[in-house]
Amino acid sequence: MGTIQIFLTIVIFVSFLTFIVSAAGLIGYAVNSLFRKLGLPSRRFTYPVFKILTTMILLSTLLFFFASFSAEDLDQFTAEEELEEVVADTELSQKVKKEEQNDKKPSATSTKSKEKEIPKEKEQAKQAKEQRRSDGPLTVHFIDVGQGDAMLLKTKEKAILLDAGDWRGQEVVSYLRREGIDTLDLVVGSHEHADHIGQMPQVLNEYKVKEVWLTGNQTTSQLFENLLQTILEKDIAYHEPRAGEHYQIGDMQIEVLHPEQLTGDLNNDSLVLKLTYGTVSFLFTGDAERQAEDRMLQGAQNLEATILKIGHHGSDTSTTPSFLQAVNPEVAIISVGANNAYGHPSQSVIDLLHQQGIDLYATKSHGHIKVITDGKDYHITTDKSESLKAGKVSAEERLATSSPAPRSSRETSHSISKEVRSRDNCIDLNRATAEELERIIHIGPVRAEEIVLTRPFQSVDDLISINGIGSERLADIKAEGKACVK
């Protein structure tokens, strides 16, 4: 169509130019004839100039109008054709959407393929939809950062970082550098614990970051304060998402499923995000525990996802059977460190996932894990492949989960008097080294480091803000009498 339009345009231009020249020639011929009648100098022509000029004018006029009407008809035909294409494309999109909503989720297979026996027309519709995907394939990287979380969501055009590992490591910046990242469209801290936002200040200083999401909870740790200060200094856009919000970043659709409002419990206030890319979806749960899972189950959101990032590093405080049933994943991935002090992942969680026929991966047994999808199919690659075993609970954790033996009134009286006598020699939470803090019951290396980052404390009761210390463990610590605040 483009070649014909160009040709008609040239014809219109040439015919118009011929008309102008012929008309000018005819006027010149008339003036010459007038001069000859008046006896003025004039020219005699040996060929029929008048007939030639009038014929040229007539032909150029006919050709001009013919080409003009043809071009107008062609434009109208092209517009109608484009309109028909738009209508057909719209109907196709609506049909694809309807068919995808009616499709049942296919069961997991050893090849991780989601292909099904479908009619040819439906297959063509899906292919047409995939061809319109501009960002290319999506790769979700579950970065092996030890006992922490860090996920990179990367397409050809966009990059998002969810959590940034433990504060003592350097893995995240190094990994982003290997992946050729120079700009992050979004950085999300699922919650404020040091094994999730640990390397985030480094990331913000190293890369151009367009926006940061945090829950809005506050802690007094130096790490968290450094993070906020970096956000301010870099003038990075900041947001505190809430359940029900939807975002589109490139071809990635992001839905916030939790929290609706903050409770002050950092784990259970974790940001829970659902990423949808074509027909493949991911659910990232941070350290959300059963209380948060129950709240999501009571909501109206669709929790179903193809791939589930297991909450709280595979702890038995998360991933209840009812929540797992609602998500109904094909694949589960645990971000967890080898030989961690918490006994993660829990054997009960591993057993539950196996019972449901869910393919299970973990960073401690598979290293860096990549899920690559075109929005229809997906496949998974890993750095290594070892059998996943439950974590071993340290002696410190065994103490944490055991109830103190009952004591006689005489023993109790003796303990109290001993505590009074040793008060001046207690372990000051605000001044003690990490090694000294480990002498306190329920305080291992990880919690000792978190105490160092979180202090100053106003009282021993402030230990309730430390990850893994609840009311019962706090009571044990106070009963032991070693911890104090001077």
Enumerate the domain spans of the chain. Answer: 2-102, 135-382, 398-484
Residue 128 pLDDT: 45
DSSP 157-207: S-EEEE----TT--HHHHHHHHTT--EESEEE-SSS-TTTSTTHHHHHHHS
Largest CA distance in the chain: 151
Q: Quick check: 215 and 269 in contact, CB under 8 A?
A: yes
Choose which CATH entry (3.40.50.11820, 3.40.50.920, 1.10.150.320, 3.40.630.30) describes domain 398-484: 1.10.150.320
Residue 34 pLDDT: 82
* Token digits of residue 377: 């199919």
pLDDT at 70 over 80: no
Helix/strand/coil for 307: strand
Residue matched to tokens 């614990």: 193
Confidence grade of residue 416 (pLDDT, cut at 50, 70, 90) = very low
The 10s digit of each residue's pLDDT in 25-56 is 778 778 878 877 787 777 777 668 777 878 87
pLDDT-above-90 percentage for the chain: 50
The 10s digit of each residue's pLDDT in 185-198 is 999 999 999 999 99
Residue 398 pLDDT: 44
Confidence grade of residue 101 (pLDDT, cut at 50, 70, 90) = low
Residue 181 pLDDT: 96
Q: Which CATH class is domain 135-382?
A: alpha beta
pLDDT at 12 over 90: no
Average pLDDT over every residue of 459-470: 87
